[in-house]
Amino acid sequence: MAVHREARGLYLIEASAFHLPTSSEIAGGKWQPRLTLTRLACENQLQRSQSFPGLHPVFETAKGATRFATDLGRSMVDEGSPRLKV
């Protein structure tokens, strides 16, 4: 599974995709986006991470799910989203 890593502002964006089991009734065999945002350490703050599990929608391909998570991370950092707690 590929992981996209990108520094943006004071954050590191890590986006990937998780392959859902084919036995899943909801979205078997599809890909779910995964996102982790890490605030990089600076003079008076330690490095901290925040994960966003269970993102929706699900995708047919890992590439689509990873792209969705990357775009979501970029917009959260750029817009100072209230969901971003780190």
Return the pLDDT at 66.
97
pLDDT digits (tens, 9 = 90+) for 7-62: 999 999 999 999 988 876 666 789 999 999 999 988 888 899 999 988 999 999 99
Instruction: Select from 20, 29, 9, 4 the least CA-distant residue to 84.
Output: 9
CA dihedral 8, 85, 30, 6 (to 10 degrees): 10
Q: How many CA atoms lie within 13 A of 34 on its CB side?
A: 13
Question: Where is pLDDT greater, at 83 or 14?
Answer: 14
Strand positions, DSSP E, 1-86:
4-8, 11-19, 31-39, 48-52
- Third-level CATH fold of 4-79: Double Stranded RNA Binding Domain (3.30.160)
pLDDT digits (tens, 9 = 90+) for 67-80: 999 999 999 999 99
